[in-house]
Chain A
Amino acid sequence: MGYEAVKESFSGGVFPVRIGKEKEEVFGGENTLPFHKFEGEVPNRPLIAYEIQDVAPEEWPETVRTVYEGVSEDPVKWARHCEEELGARAIALRLVGTHPDGKDLTAEEAVKTVTSVLEAVKAPVIILGSNHVEKDSEVLPRVAEAAKGYNCVIGKAQEANYKTIAAAAMANDHKLIAMSELDINLSKQLNILLTQMGFAKEKLITDPMCSALGYGLEYTYSVMERIRLAALAQNDEVMQPPMLGDVGMYVWKIKEVQAPEEVLPEWGSVEERGILWEALTATSLMLAGAELLIMRHPKAVEMVEKFVDELI
């Protein structure tokens, strides 16, 4: 008798999410564990979006900031550079300048930035707030309206502000990121609340909150893993949206990507270290189930894409 591999099949699947207007991208859609092509359908590659900002990335560490020198002062140039030079399949525009503790840019200024970036690129755009609960619920509805017709992803809706943000995303036909803080039950609860207000679960993206390698990655990994198993094995519909790994912002602030070689020669090249750190965090989360990743360093993105090439 010949050998026959045991195959696991699941009753549930992940919703495919299609974003963008001129150029569309689809992620999610599989009915099996990440990259288990031998057990089910994995119709789409994970989508990696290049992160850009509405203001110059002064707080980014030098090794990733210098990569965008000459373009990062202007979000339009920056977006074009990512698309045309780096081949970005998607752009994630973070409106960090709207944060009240930072430049405190107004919703009008945010609308201007968003509109000009949308006009400048063909790739789908993910529009992120500054992660300030009140300011986001002021800014995101306005930019969602301005971006109508572009089929963007808006984020992030949290327990404290989901109603206004979800209503705006719904009214303007966008997809929505629902973020909870590393708690699988609260993640499910938020998705239930969103669907109860009429937001289609097929248009959601779950963000269980990211963390960098060495800084609690295993928590994110475990929550993602369990969300995916609930989606597949328990056929839990509110847990079936694809998941986001917001990798760049969590990686590029830790000491391991910044400590200079003069101080810690045994840690090796600071540039290489940062790239590897971002790539490893991203690949780990992809293995846990993330289908949408937001990243910063082009070399890290390149590594992750290569990794996907081999798995898919």
Chain B
Amino acid sequence: MLVIGEKLSIIAKRVREAMEKREKGPIQEIAKRQAEEGAGMIDANIGPAEDGGEELMEWMVTTIQETVHLPVCLDTTNYGAIEAGLKVHNNDYGVPMINSTSNDPERFSMLELAAKYNCLIIGLTVGKGGLPADEEERAAIAAEIMARAMEYGVPLENLYLDPLVLQIATTQEQAIKVVRAVEMFQQLNEPPMKTVVGLSNISNGCPKHIRPILNKYYFLMLERVGLTAAIADAAEMKEALEEKADFEKVLRGEEIEDREKMVVMKKTIDVIEGNTLYAHSYLEM
């Protein structure tokens, strides 16, 4: 399982300020911590970065790789910024990843870059229109992205299909459909297609204290169906993997020693699978 550390995102105030002031300290500190927590790649989300995106991505990639010897996941819709990042990326530390292309014609150009620099690329299974309704729509879009990748000369082993995780608090029924999509994507090719998710979106909009719980157990449900990579909180994922044996038991309906944890796992599984209706206080029921 490849965990792509999610913390270097422009959405976080501290990171945004460091990016604006080009302060290496906080960026490197966060990168280092994520590496220690087990991240195998560091996501650098600079947002749409319409002005000065190229220079910013260059700075991010070199700043990160100065301290951690890991590849970077270049996260922006700005084509020029992606290319600038790829140019300075040190591939001795691993192959970089482009985040992302999709079935929207405006994003096809990212495939050009993936072919030119022979790097990894995320294919988000959304089109130009609305969100996919279920796993089948996602798989249909995935097949189109795969065809497009081949057309652009991107080897399928470099493509990571992303089913788009949605918020459980508002679109509960999508949670299990995404799990099924991850299963389905793998069957689209031999050897199986690789998959990735932006994990933490599952708990977006949920109360703070239940976010790690939902993140961890959703991650384990995806992991067991063969997920290849997750953009996530590396510390949470490490914890999740430590709980894996217990979680499997609970899924099989067996008991575990820690009763309290068992109840939390059961309730969370029920919410993810759609057996009970989600509410912010679902754990207190």
Name A's B-contacting residues (CB within 8 A): 183-186, 188-189, 192-193, 196, 226, 230, 234, 236, 238-239
Whether, in the assembled complex, B170 has its beta carbon less than 8 Å from a beta carbon of chain A, the answer is yes
List chain B residues, Cβ under 8 A from A188.
277-279
With an 8 A cutoff between CB atoms, is B252 at the interface? no
Select from chain A the residue with minimum beta-carbon distance to B280. A189
Q: Shortest beta-carbon distance, B278 to chain A, in Å?
A: 5
Select B170's contact among A185, A238, A239, beta carbons within 8 Å: A185
5 residue pairs bridging A and B, Cβ less than 8 Å apart:
A185-B172, A185-B278, A196-B284, A226-B277, A238-B279
Complex Cα distance, B274 from A185, in Å, reads 12
Q: Is the Cβ of A239 less than 8 Å from the Cβ of B281?
A: no
Known: A185-B170, A185-B172. A234 touches B276 (CB 8 A): yes
Chain B residue, CB-CB nearest to A233: B275
Tell me if A234 and B284 are in contact (CB < 8 A).
no
B interface SS class:
loop
Within the complex, the shortest CB–CB distance from A190 to chain B, in Å, comes to: 9
| Interface residues, chain B, with chain A CB atoms under 8 Å away | 169-170, 172, 275-281, 284-285
A236→B277 CA distance, assembly (Å): 8
Provided the pairs A185-B169, A185-B170, A185-B172 are in contact, do residues A230 and B284 lie with their beta carbons within 8 angstroms?
no
Given A185-B169, A185-B170, A185-B172: A234 touches B285 (CB 8 Å cut-off): no
Question: What residues on B are CB-neighbors of A185 within 8 Å?
Answer: 169-170, 172, 277-280
When the two chains form the complex, which single residue of A184, A186, A193, A234 contacts B275, counting CB atoms closer than 8 Å?
A234
Considering the chains assembled together, what is the distance between the CA atoms of A2 and B285 in angstroms?
Answer: 45
Contacts of A239 in B (CB 8 A): 277
**Inside 8 A of A184's CB, which chain B residues have their CB?**
277
Inter-chain contacts of B172 with A (CB < 8 A): 185
Name the distance in Å between A198's Cβ and chain B's nearest Cβ.
14
Instruction: Give A31 Cβ to nearest chain B Cβ, in Å.
Output: 18
**Contact between B277 and A192 (Cβ–Cβ < 8 Å)?**
no
Chain B, residue nearest A190 (CB): B279
Q: Could you say which residues of chain A place their CB within 8 Å of the CB of B284?
A: 192, 196
Q: How far is the CA of A238 from the CA of B277 in the complex (A)?
A: 10
- A192's partner among B169, B170, B275, B285 (CB-CB below 8 A) is B285
* List of B residues within 8 angstroms of A238 by Cβ: 279, 285
Chain B residue, CB-CB nearest to A226? B277
**3 A-B pairs closest in CB distance:** A188-B279, A189-B279, A192-B281
**Whole-angstrom distance between the alpha carbons of A239 and B279 in the complex?**
11
A185-B169, A185-B170 known; A236 and B281 CB under 8 Å? Answer: no
> Which residue on chain A has the smallest CB distance to residue B169?
A185
Most A CB within 10 A of own CB, among B275, B277, B278, B284: B277
Contact A236-B169, Cβ < 8 Å, known A196-B281, A196-B284: no
Which residue on B lies nearest to A227, using beta carbons? B277
The residue on B at minimum CB distance from A184 is B277
- Residues of chain A within 8 A (CB-CB) of B169 are 185
Rounded to whole Å, the gap between the CB of A137 and the closest CB of chain B is 22
Apart from A192-B285, A193-B281, A236-B277: 16 A-B pairs, beta carbons within 8 A: A184-B277, A185-B169, A185-B279, A185-B280, A186-B279, A188-B278, A188-B279, A189-B279, A189-B281, A192-B284, A196-B284, A226-B277, A230-B276, A230-B277, A234-B275, A234-B277
Chain B residues lying within 8 Å of A193, measured Cβ to Cβ, are 281
A184 to chain B, nearest CB (A): 7
Contact B170 A236 (CB under 8 A): no
